[in-house]
């Protein structure tokens, strides 16, 4: 009887461990709809809803294949601060932290990111569209970034279009705005004032040579 009882306990414990493992595996499967910030959401094949931009390094980074929607209304006041300091544009810039040193706690969106304002470090492969500004530095955009006010990125590969300013540490492509600033550029800048590592020029600026070390 005791032997049978011990066998039953062992079988029950084994079934509980197996159930926990299966639940853990299911939790890692991509979701159709996910939320951020959330430690439960890791991978999404569909839509990620961001109700607050989270840059806490302890939060699990998320990979989204589809659409990222940002509804953080608090960040809409940040662009006003940049307007106040527009006269110090020569001091604007993003430190070169190097591509290998970019935070590993960054969301990756393969598709489209649509936000009221994007202030979360994110790698966007596709379209980044903001109703206010994209100021999620250090962030990376591979594709097209469009904003009615500002685009602030560490790396822009593709096209960045805004009304007031595009500021990036590394640019590979085209910047279009009233003010364009890039410290490591390969491409063209079109705007009222343009700055790269070689020169400062109005209307149009360019550089297609490697940056000298």
Range of the domain at 174: 31-207
Are 141 and 98 in contact by the 8 Å Cβ rule? The answer is: no
Question: Is this structure's pTM higher than 0.85?
Answer: no
* Structure token digits, residue 112: 């489209």
3-class DSSP state of 174:
strand
Specify the higher pLDDT residue, 179 or 120.
Answer: 179
Residue 4 φ then ψ, to 5°: -65, -40
Q: Is residue 170 part of a domain?
A: yes
Q: Is residue 184 part of a domain?
A: yes
Q: Is residue 17 part of a domain?
A: no
Mean of the per-residue pLDDT values for the chain? Answer: 75
- How many domains does the chain contain in total? 1
Q: Is residue 168 part of a domain?
A: yes
Q: How confident is the model at residue 131 (pLDDT cuts 50, 70, 90)?
A: confident
What pLDDT shows up at residue 175? 96
Q: Is residue 7 part of a domain?
A: no
Q: How confident is the model at residue 206 (pLDDT cuts 50, 70, 90)?
A: very high
Q: Is residue 60 part of a domain?
A: yes
3-class DSSP state of 36:
strand
3-class DSSP state of 134:
strand
Instruction: Please determine, for residue 113, whether its predicted confidence score (pLDDT) is greater than 80.
Output: yes
Q: Is residue 21 part of a domain?
A: no
What are residue 168's DSSP bridge partners?
153, 182
Q: Is residue 62 part of a domain?
A: yes
């Amino acid at each position: 009887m005791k032997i049978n009882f011990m066998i039953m306990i062992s079988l029950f414990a084994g079934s509980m461990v197996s159930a926990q493992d299966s639940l853990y595996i299911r939790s890692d499967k991509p979701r159709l709809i996910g939320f951020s910030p959330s430690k439960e959401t890791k991978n999404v094949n569909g839509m990620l809803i961001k109700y607050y931009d989270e840059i806490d390094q302890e939060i699990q980074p998320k990979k989204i294949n589809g659409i990222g929607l940002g509804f953080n209304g608090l960040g809409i006041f940040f662009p006003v601060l940049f307007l106040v300091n527009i006269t110090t544009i020569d001091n604007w810039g993003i430190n070169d932290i190097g591509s290998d040193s970019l935070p590993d706690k960054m969301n990756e969106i393969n598709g489209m990111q649509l936000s009221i304002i994007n202030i979360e470090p994110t790698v966007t492969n596709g379209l980044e569209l903001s109703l206010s500004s994209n100021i999620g530095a250090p962030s990376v955009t591979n594709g097209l970034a469009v904003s009615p006010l500002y685009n602030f990125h560490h790396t822009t590969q593709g096209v960045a279009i805004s009304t007031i300013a595009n500021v990036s540490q590394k640019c590979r492509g085209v910047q279009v705005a009233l003010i364009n600033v890039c410290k490591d550029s390969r491409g063209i800048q079109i705007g009222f004032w343009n700055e790269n590592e070689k020169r400062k020029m109005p209307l149009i600026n360019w550089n297609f040579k490697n940056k000298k070390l």
